[in-house]
Structure 1
Amino acid sequence: MKQSFVFTTWLTCLLLVFLGNNQSADAARSPKEEPVRIVSLDGTVSEILCDLGLQSHLIGVDVTSTYPESLKKLPKVGHNRTISAEGVISLKPTLVLTTQNAGTKSEVIEQIKSAGINVITFQQEYSIAGAKKLIQDVATTCQVGSKAKPLIKKLDADLALVKKATNSPKVLFIYARGTGTMMVSGRGTQVDKMIELAGGVNATPDFENYKPLTAESLVAANPDVILLFDSGLESLGGPGGLLKVQGVAQTNAGKYGRIIDMDGHLLSGFSPRLGKALQELAQKMNQKPKA
């Protein structure tokens, strides 16, 4: 209770000068009159806030904020890449939190700021060190820095249990929203980093970010494993539907049924559950091919 009060008081009175915000602290309303009201535009930030015991301050989240389950009860302001400033402002937050990787348009951020709302953008690096730093940064910003230590300790314990995939399987990640939207991951994406950390090799390392999937590139990549978000695999009709996509059945992954899926936020969020995500990914990558 004491930490929550300190958090409320500190945010309301001091966040106006954090990260170069030049608004006068005189404009801050009394914390007794209005507790800090947070909108999170990033699922990983939302998860960290909950792990820090600050969920009661959340009044709205983006659609990537799916964990913990209780976040699904909060008002949604849209996907972080297509958020409108009006939707955020209508919730009357005193603080908006996001990351530079979330993809919210800069003009939307400026609109929110122009409404007198404080916006803090955290830097997020897709690595183990980056995951720990984001936990610490969010905790420090919310002046509950001591609560970061047990979260990071738990992350380290989970990471110690990861049994990396053997034989460095070639893994192709397909981002799918039905057969009409199918993209493959190149270098530098969250999933590319996860594949590497779990002991695999990206099957398409010759380009950055994402490219449309083609039958020719699929056969040329010839992955040992095909990885998708669970929602993406479902949009294709499950493994059977994916095997009907031109070129998939001709790959080693298709021939031996090595098609795996994971929760999208768990796989790509680099959240406090990073160790759990790598455990699951490595285990699935280690599964023996079907005879």
Structure 2
Amino acid sequence: MNGQIRFGLRLSETEHARLWARVQNHFAWNEREWQPLWLNGERLGLVSEKWRQLIRQDWQGGLDVRESGLALSADNWLAMADNLQNMAQGWNRLGVLEGWRNEKFDVADDSGRPLFALERAAFRPLGLLSNAIHINGLTCRNGEWRFWIGRRSPFKAVDPNKLDNLVGGGVSSGERIEEAMLREGAEEAGLLPPLLQGLDCRSCRLSMRRVSRGLHRERLHIFDVVLPPDVLPENQDGEVAEFMLMDCHELAAAMADGRLMNDALLATLDLFLRGGLLDEAHPLAQWLSTSADCRSLINF
């Protein structure tokens, strides 16, 4: 199924208020704490004072401190990638940068054209924009919609045991959005290509918030899939401990209580808005509506 999902009900005022409070807490950030990072003349990142100092100390290349931000330069994009990778590896060896994954994401310009690939752990310190896919999974039981929700493995380094969308994961370097969606669907939920092929990306949102390693800036490509009642998701890569079914109210409570991953919260609220669960006049719905097209938010 690849049509528009409508829920036929609306969340209560209390549910709206609790979700709005959670969103304001998770996605608020002080713009004055961050300074633009320019790479070879492209305004691509946002860095805090901590990381500005480390960059000025460890960068091996051209460096210009401006009122408009910190500007790094190299002979070309390949040299820029090598210098940034080496700097980040040095931080990792010193214990300054944790969470090294040996996986690269693409750094792209405003038009989405990839410029170079870089270790994903370096994206948050540099405030670079990454891409991820999220799949809202639903099924119909006894005439009512239910959401398939995953619980992350207790052995995950980040947010163990937290609740998550049916599928969610980063887009690797050189990978198309559709390829990432199919790969993550197979790895995280055991969904075969016939269930996912032909799905349209329903929405694109910018998730931006302060985190321990810097600034999380990620473009979320959001898909919806309706699974037949006899299809049960089954994790294949050890990253999901279990899947469970929740109705709209149970899921709203889990989000309001902070039990859902932050980006999963945003992807789920996106569907809540599109499916009519939210009052369009409420500040939560208005915030979601004005931030729906993340392309308008990239040029910070």
TM-score computed with the length of structure 2 as normaliser: 0.24
TM-score by length of 1: 0.25
**Which structure has greater strand proportion?**
2
Higher helix share: 1
| Structure of greater Rg | 1
Bigger RCO of structures 1 and 2 (CA < 8 A, at least 6 apart): 2
